[in-house]
């Protein structure tokens, strides 16, 4: 262990390992509301001109960002530019400047009318509401002469600090200049966490006090321990920078380390990718995935008012399967959840949707929808050489597993059938489930949510979502042992599999396949190749002997040379 750092130390949850140091750059997340009595600087016409000029500048800036980002981001940014140039908004604006309002206040109030209308439509327009607020804040910031929301352009190695990071903030981040990410909110499955692992940048989330770190200070981020040191001693900064440089070099050479996943003693560990649709296939193949451990079939249909036809589903599934000739593809049937409702499923008003009729429960309520999807998957598999496996989400007891297997057979499927283990009851009685199933796959994000009664979307509960929690590791162990003793397989397809050190621990607990976002695979492959089964088992034992997540991580990484996030 290194000496205790001399600077001020903040603590959060480390979600992307490694150390980095740089100058703090603050994400501006709150543009102040202009005071109602803000004095206009000119006559009404002059105020109108200023306001319209600011909106036009915002529109042009959003279009330019769209051109740079491309893809889906471009569509969102162009729609935002249309909002800034909206003729109805301009009319509202004129009315208010005519009544003597200053430009900034007039813009703020003109947006308010539409804001209320959009907010009234509920969740359906929530994303547009956020877009609208962003346009308003950008225009108001220009008029008040304060920084625009989002991440300023980076000019040197920086630690980006904010309340939380939105996809729009991060679309244009230059990974070469990001030494670390620190957020006050967010959890291990937040956008920031997923992005930082994809970029290979150390990150700490749920870090209390982060938003009080002053811009321009030097900060050191340790994404392994969750420590953030403000104004650290120079020697620590030098060491962290060297560590970051090593990590970049390792990452740059990582694509060469393709091939099947295995430990240093040759023990095979299948390295699979999580995909959401055809657009993810190329990255997965490039990262050397040995197949797909979790095909989230619902992601292509989240915005659909009616269920996609069997033919349309077949085409989409075949596109994904075609990317993995002769390899495993585990397709999870439609998983409508609290955080991702499917509009074509029956709408339910439930006080607690995470504990409601979701996942397989919802599909059993609409058996024709399930049957159609299973037939489409079978037909898609017949068109390609991929080895299809079918998996059900949100299974709690063996009768559900049996019914799912029966539905698969009825659709003409004769390959392996399994279930996700997300509900603690399913983990505790995994042996029962395996009497009806060929495999189980641990969805560690939901499993942690249910095990700790801690909503995955609430940043304040992030420490309970930490996949290093010993209780979660105990449940993983229980499930893996149940599979091993019956000659069946237990995999992990949650974000836990993306953490190289934790990947070794999971293997030590008896997990035989790991599925994660494609970007995480090279680092996980390298970590597995550097350790043998004995080391993984000892690290797993050490982690389970710890009393909390931080201690588990420290104890395990101490036994996994090269994965302690420090150089040497």
Partner 1 sequence: MVERTVDVPEGVGLHARPAALFVKAATAAGVPVTVEKPGGEPADARSILAVLSLDVRGGDQVVLRTDGGDAVLDDLEQVISESGDSHG
Q: List active site positions.
A: 191, 493
Q: Does 75 bind partner 1 (CB under 8 A)?
A: yes
Of 344, 342, 343, 297, nearest to 319 by C-alpha is 297
Which residue, 137 or 564, is less far from partner 1 as judged by CB?
A: 137
Residue of the chain from 38, 69, 125, 371 that contacts partner 1 (CB under 8 A): 125
The binder of partner 1 chosen from 121, 406, 410, 460 (CB under 8 A): 121
Cα 324-326-330 angle, rounded to 5 deg: 60
Any contact of residue 23 with partner 1 (CB under 8 A)? Answer: no
C-beta closer to partner 1: residue 54 or 237: 54
Q: Does 369 bind partner 1 (CB under 8 A)?
A: no
3-class state of residue 337 by DSSP? strand
Helix (H) or strand (E) holding 440: strand 439-442
Task: Give the span between the Cα atoms of 500 and 25, in whole angstroms.
Answer: 28
CB–CB of 568/245 below 8 Å?
Answer: no
Cβ at position 310, least distance to partner 1 in Å = 17
Q: Is 130 in the site for partner 1 (CB under 8 A)?
A: no
Work out whether 123 is an interface residue with partner 1 (CB under 8 A).
Answer: no
Q: Does residue 114 belong to the site contacting partner 1 (CB under 8 A)?
A: yes
* Smallest separation (angstroms) from partner 1 to the CB of 301: 9
137 binds partner 1 (CB under 8 A): no
Instruction: Report which DSSP code applies to 265.
Output: T
Return the structure tokens found at 35.
């005071």
DSSP per-residue string spanning 281-317: HHHHHHTT-SEEEEEEGGGGGTT-SSPPPHHHHHHHH
Q: How far is CA 89 from CA 106, 112, 231, in A?
A: 10, 10, 46
Rounded to a whole number of angstroms, the minimum distance from the CB of residue 85 to partner 1 is: 9
Query: Whose Cβ is closer to partner 1: residue 343's or residue 356's?
Result: 343
The yes or no reply on residue 368 touching partner 1 (CB under 8 A) is no
- The answer to the question of residue 216 lying near partner 1 (CB under 8 A) is no
User: What b/e readout covers 97-135, taking b as 16+ CB neighbours within 10 angstroms?
Assistant: beeebbbbbbbbbbbeebeeebeeeeeeeeebbebbebb
Which range binds partner 1 by CB under 8 A, 78-86, 266-274, 334-342, 347-355? 78-86
Question: According to CB under 8 A, which one of 72, 212, 234, 365 is a site residue for partner 1?
Answer: 72
| Least distance (Å) between residue 127 CB and partner 1 | 8
Asked if 118 touches partner 1 (CB under 8 A), the answer is: yes
Q: What dihedral do alpha carbons 332, 347, 344, 364 form, nearest 10°? A: 40
Q: Which is nearer to partner 1, 366 or 548 (CB)?
A: 366
List phi, psi (to 5°) of 451: -70, -40
Cβ-count burial of 461 within 10 angstroms (0-12 exposed, 13-18 middle, 19+ buried)? Answer: middle
Q: For residue 89, state whether it binds partner 1 (rule: CB under 8 A).
A: yes
Given a contact cutoff of 8 angstroms between Cβ atoms, the answer to whether 464 and 452 are in contact is: yes
- Pairwise CA distance, residues 314 & 381, whole Å: 9
Nearest to 39 by CA among 125, 100, 93, 96: 100
From the list 29, 49, 56, 78, which residue makes contact with partner 1 (rule: CB under 8 A)?
A: 78
Q: Provide the pairing of β-strand 291-296 with 328-332.
A: parallel
Q: Judged by CB under 8 A, which stretch of 80-88, 255-263, 399-407, 440-448 contacts partner 1?
A: 80-88
Contact at 8 Å (CB) between 508 and 540?
A: yes
Nearer to partner 1, 89 or 539 (CB): 89
From residue 314 to residue 353, what is the string marking binding to partner 1 with x (rule CB under 8 A)? Answer: -----------------------------x----------
Q: Does 174 bind partner 1 (CB under 8 A)?
A: no
Q: Does 298 bind partner 1 (CB under 8 A)?
A: no
Beta bridge partners of 150: 28
| Least Cβ distance, residue 483 to partner 1 (angstroms) | 37
CB of 369 to partner 1, least distance (A): 15
- Give the integer Cα–Cα distance in Å for 490 and 513: 7
Q: CB of residue 373 vs partner 1: minimum separation in angstroms? A: 17
Closer of 83 and 240 to partner 1 (Cβ): 83
Phi, psi (degrees; rounded to nearest 5) at 183: -130, 150
450 sits in which H/E element: helix 444-451
Phi, psi of 162 (to 5 degrees): -160, 180
Complex with partner 1: residue 36 or 127, whichever CB lies closer: 127
Q: Which is nearer to partner 1, 132 or 519 (CB)?
A: 132
User: What residue ranges bind partner 1 (CB under 8 A)?
Assistant: 72, 75, 78-79, 82-83, 86-89, 114, 117-118, 120-121, 124-125, 127-128, 132, 300, 303-306, 343
């Amino acid at each position: 262990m290194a000496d205790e750092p001399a600077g001020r130390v903040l603590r959060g949850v480390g979600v992307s390992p490694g150390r980095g140091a740089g100058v703090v750059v603050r994400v501006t997340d709150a543009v102040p509301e202009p005071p109602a009595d803000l004095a206009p600087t000119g006559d009404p016409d002059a105020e109108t001109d200023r306001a319209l000029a600011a909106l036009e500048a915002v529109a042009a800036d959003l279009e330019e960002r769209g051109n740079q980002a491309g893809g889906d981001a471009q569509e969102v940014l162009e729609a935002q530019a249309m909002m800034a140039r909206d003729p109805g908004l301009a009319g509202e604006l004129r009315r208010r400047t005519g009544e003597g309002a200053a430009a900034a206040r007039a813009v703020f109030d003109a947006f308010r009318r539409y804001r209320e209308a959009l907010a009234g439509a509920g969740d359906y327009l929530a994303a547009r509401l956020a877009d609208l607020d962003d346009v308003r804040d950008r225009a108001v910031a220009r008029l008040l002469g304060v920084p625009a929301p989002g991440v300023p352009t980076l000019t040197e190695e920086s630690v980006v600090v904010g309340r939380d990071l939105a996809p729009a903030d991060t679309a244009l981040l230059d990974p070469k200049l990001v030494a670390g990410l620190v957020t006050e909110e967010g959890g291990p499955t937040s956008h920031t966490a997923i992005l930082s692992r994809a970029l290979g940048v150390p990150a700490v989330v749920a870090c209390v006090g982060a938003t009080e770190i002053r811009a321009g200070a030097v900060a050191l981020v340790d994404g392994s321990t969750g420590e953030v040191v403000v104004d650290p001693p120079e020697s620590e900064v030098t060491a962290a920078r060297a560590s970051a440089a090593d990590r970049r070099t390792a990452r740059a050479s990582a694509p060469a380390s393709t091939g099947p996943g295995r430990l240093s003693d040759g023990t095979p560990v299948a390295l699979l990718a999580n995909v959401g649709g055809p657009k993810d296939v190329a990255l997965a193949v490039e990262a050397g995935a040995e197949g797909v451990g979790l095909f989230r079939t619902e992601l292509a249909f989240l915005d659909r008012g009616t269920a996609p036809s069997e033919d349309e589903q077949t085409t989409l599934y075949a596109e994904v399967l075609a990317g993995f000739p002769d390899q495993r593809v585990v397709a999870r049937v439609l998983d409508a959840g609290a955080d991702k409702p499917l509009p074509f499923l029956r709408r339910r008003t439930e006080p607690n949707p995470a504990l409601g009729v979701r996942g397989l429960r919802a599909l059993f309520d609409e058996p024709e929808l399930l049957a159609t999807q299973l037939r489409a998957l079978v037909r898609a598999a017949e068109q390609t050489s991929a080895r299809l496996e079918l998996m059900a989400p949100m299974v709690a007891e063996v009768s559900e597993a049996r019914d799912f297997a029966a539905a698969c057979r009825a659709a003409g499927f004769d390959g392996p059938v399994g279930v996700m283990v997300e509900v603690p009851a399913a983990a505790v009685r995994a042996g029962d489930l395996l009497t009806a199933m060929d495999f189980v796959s641990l969805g560690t994000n939901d499993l942690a949510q249910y095990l700790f009664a801690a909503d995955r979307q609430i940043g304040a509960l992030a420490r309970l979502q930490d996949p290093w929690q010993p209780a979660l590791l105990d449940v993983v162990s229980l499930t893996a042992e149940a599979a091993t003793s019956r000659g069946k397989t237990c995999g992990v397809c949650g974000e836990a599999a993306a953490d190289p050190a934790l990947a070794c621990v999971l293997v030590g607990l008896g997990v035989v396949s790991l599925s994660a976002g494609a970007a995480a695979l090279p680092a996980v492959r390298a970590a597995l190749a550097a350790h043998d089964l004995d080391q993984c088992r000892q690290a797993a034992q050490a982690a389970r002997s710890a009393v909390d997540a931080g201690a588990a991580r420290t104890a395990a990484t101490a036994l996994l040379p090269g994965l302690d996030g420090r150089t040497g």
